[in-house]
Amino acid sequence: MILSSGECSRLMQVEEKNPHHLLGMHLFDISAEGNKTKKKKGIVVRALLSNASQVKVVPVYDKKKPSFELKRLHPSGLFEGISVDCSEIYAYDLVITDFQGRTRQIRDPYSFLPSIDGQTEFLFGKGDERRLYEKLGAQIREYDGVKGVSFAVWAPNAKHVSVVGDFNGWDGRYYPMRSLGASGIWELFIPGLNEGVRYKYEICDCHGALRLKADPMGFLFEVAPQTATIVYDLAGYSWGDKEWLEKRKQKNWLESPISIYEVHMGGWMKKGAFESYNYRELAPLLIEYVHKMGFTHVEFLPLAEHAYYPSWGYQVTGYYAPTSRYGSPKDFMFLIDQLHQAGIGVLMDWVPAHFPLDDFALARFDGTALYEHADPRQGFHQDWGTYIFNYGRNEVRNFLVANALFWLEKYHIDGLRVDAVASILYLDYSRKHGEWVPNKYGGRENLEAIDFLREFNHLAHTEFPGIITVAEESTAWPQVTRPPYMGGLGFDFKWNMGWMHDTLDYFQKEPIYRKYHHNNLTFGMLYHYHENFILPFSHDEVVHGKGALMQKMPGDDWQRAANLRSLLAWQWTYPGKKLLFMGGELGVRTEWNENTSIPWEVLGQGPYHCGAQRLVIDLNRIYKEHKSLWQMDYRIGGFQWINCNDYQQSTYSFIREGEKGEDVLLIIMNLTPVPRHGFRIGLPRRGGWEEILNTDAEIYGGSNVGNGNGIEAEPHEYDGQPWSALFTLPPLAVCIFRHKKMQNM
């Protein structure tokens, strides 16, 4: 035996950081017989194999090279063999006979050079390996003419790492990985493995404890509650959305209509009581419905793998894997592809703010706070019981930025809505004095996180023109939607949480008290032009005892339905893009439960639910038809109050118009249950004003009070306008009027 007892022990105890140094084929010096002063070269081959009774080395290409038997050195399967008939390394196979007499022939995993090159190590350490998902993880590849899977994982503080899975009985002794040194990457190429193999990494952490970890870069996971990663080849899907992607590159989304239907994949519609549709089954159903409703985009709650279903996807355990609950990665590609071919954009929630404590995932990955901050004042979310990413560590920042690029490249996602941005930006987020650590200047801003968000936005937009990024940011942080070169964070849009809270607070008030809260609906225009806003009524507002939108409204059934219709019309006519969570368009009366479907049966329970759905259809139609409702959302001149001071009667009136004063719409709101006849409102233009939508119309479940064929302006100054007219204001309703161009204006 050439192998020393110490080396043998390190292999059997899986304590060797460079198993390729001992396993595989190596040259060594052999003393010539009878003359120990003369040396010549020989070769030694060592293999560590489970369930092997006999092992033989056979050459692959040059049949003149020697074949020879390996002898067992250890009962656990350590073999060694020597040949003095060759003095150079050559390609070889191992012919393995098991204890049942079956034979297989494979290339030796320890005969290959590293599959990770020095440039990848350098860029990863720098935080700039943008296609990290093509380097780390389990990559199906042909290496030196041999097909197999290369595994690579970042675990710099591990004592040793092995690949375990179905192929080695989940025994960490048989596929130990080699450490690539300072990069902290461990690597191994295993010939003969194919798609579908389950695996994990067995990590001996810095404390000597063994941990079984799923692959942070894994493309597919077992269906929960199982947690193994599965080897998967993302290549091979034939996309049909080229036309969509080309048009997307040229799109100016700030001056385009965007109305988003927010969807939880498992709870939109179910087969029977509890079974969810898979990605492929859902595609035609969702496309048909979104087309019917007139939304321009769908936004999925996070679909990255998550072990805990009630987290709705916000506690991610597999950042590079669409959840297997609904099918394979290619099934998910099919869903997005079909939506694109149908002309529907796809956004997805992305969660770089925090990750859960699940022991099989990122938490304390190599026994240290690797992805998270070690100091709980910086690395632990008290509100959510999760870990916070260490944005100051290059490799962690690289992991997250590459993840964003991954979804945009591999799955053609049109945009990412970044969850909980405020918690990323502020070091003292939801913390008391003494519970947080100031930055180097003594401030509360997370400087490393700011740099991360700017880098993410810059790379996402430069590498994928036409995509959009959205911040769920609930504070007054400045310039969230301004470019990094201007000092901004670089997002395209920001959820207008202030508008949402003020609006819902107002509409939940009994109409008799609304005059005391009149400014709730006017305050938003004071800061509207500071950011590019999306107006959200999201899933967050219909859970945890908050009640459904319909439930929030005051009054009897008629008034609740009327208030909901007014709420939706206010959202669609106010400047900013639109987002509505599934079920809001039906006026459902119960808050959302992820375990059940939307209660579609309400459409058969009276006129109010069908009326709400019909209204959203018409709002989306009018919204897309009229540039005035989206072309100048973020430019002064696209919105003008006519009268925002009538708090005693709770009425509002304003103008929306497009570029060059074209396509002028007048919106009038009466938010009390009292109809008002002969109500004078100032007008900026003479001529006719046609009523094109009235939320009190009978088709929506209203009382059908309205303005008939429209109104003609009178040369009577009012509300600071040169023209005016007498209108009928239906109760708890919003009316939209289109200015009719005069022939001789």
- The set of catalytic residues is 419, 472
Distance CA 738, CA 727 (A): 14
The two structure tokens encoding residue 661: 């004063």
Contact 689, 708 (CB under 8 A): no
Strand 345-350 with 297-300, pairing: parallel
Going by the DSSP 8-state scheme, the letter that residue 682 receives in this structure is: E
Handedness of CA 673, 678, 683, 685 (dihedral sign): positive
- DSSP-assigned states of every residue in 637-680: TSEEEEE---TTTTEEEEEE--GGG-S-EEEEEE-SSS-EEEEE
Nearest CA to 353 among 384, 323, 374? 384
Give the residue from 615, 509, 539, 541 showing the smallest Cα distance to 572: 615
CB 206 within 8 A of CB 368: yes
Q: SS3 for 559?
A: helix
**What are the distances in angstroms from CA 195 to CA 67, 171, 219, 292, 546?**
31, 20, 11, 39, 45
Segments in 431-523 forming alpha helices (H):
447-463, 497-507
Measure the CA angle with vertex 145, ends 142 and 149; round to 5°. 30
Angstrom distance (rounded) from CA 318 to CA 406 = 13
Alpha carbons 572 and 553: distance in angstroms, whole number: 18
Assign 418 to helix, strand or coil. strand
The candidate with the shortest Cα–Cα distance to 220, out of 318, 316, 148, 303, is 318
Helix (H) or strand (E) holding 551: helix 549-552
What sign does the CA torsion over 486, 488, 493, 497 have? negative
Whether 613 and 586 have beta carbons less than 8 Å apart is answered as yes
Two tokens, residue 630: 């989206």
For the chain, state the CA radius of gyration.
32
Indicate the burial class of 301 (C-beta count within 10 angstroms; 0-12, 13-18, 19 or more): buried
Residue 592 near residue 583, CB atoms below 8 Å: yes
CB 413, CB 406: distance < 8 Å:
no
The alpha-helical segments, DSSP class H, found in 182-278 are 242-249
Nearest to 473 by CA among 577, 353, 355, 635: 353
Instruction: Show the DSSP H helices in 602-656 as ranges.
Output: 607-625
Cβ contact 355:362 at 8 Å: yes
Query: What spatial distance separates the first Cα and last Cα of the chain, rounded to whole Å?
Result: 103
CA 562 to chain centre: 35
Dihedral angle of Cα 630, 632, 636, 642, to the nearest 10 degrees:
-50
Tell me, letter by letter, the H, E, C secondary structure of 354-421. EECCCCCCCCCCCCCCCCECCCHHHHEECCCCEEEECCCCHHHHHHHHHHHHHHHHHCCCCEEEECCH
Q: What is the residue type of 458?
A: H
- For residues 662 and 712, give the distance between their C-alpha atoms in angstroms, rounded to a whole number: 19
**One-letter identity of residue 131:** R
**Distance (Å, rounded) from C-alpha 348 to C-alpha 313?**
11
Planar angle of CA 450, 452, 455, nearest 5 degrees: 110
Q: What is the DSSP letter of 591?
A: -
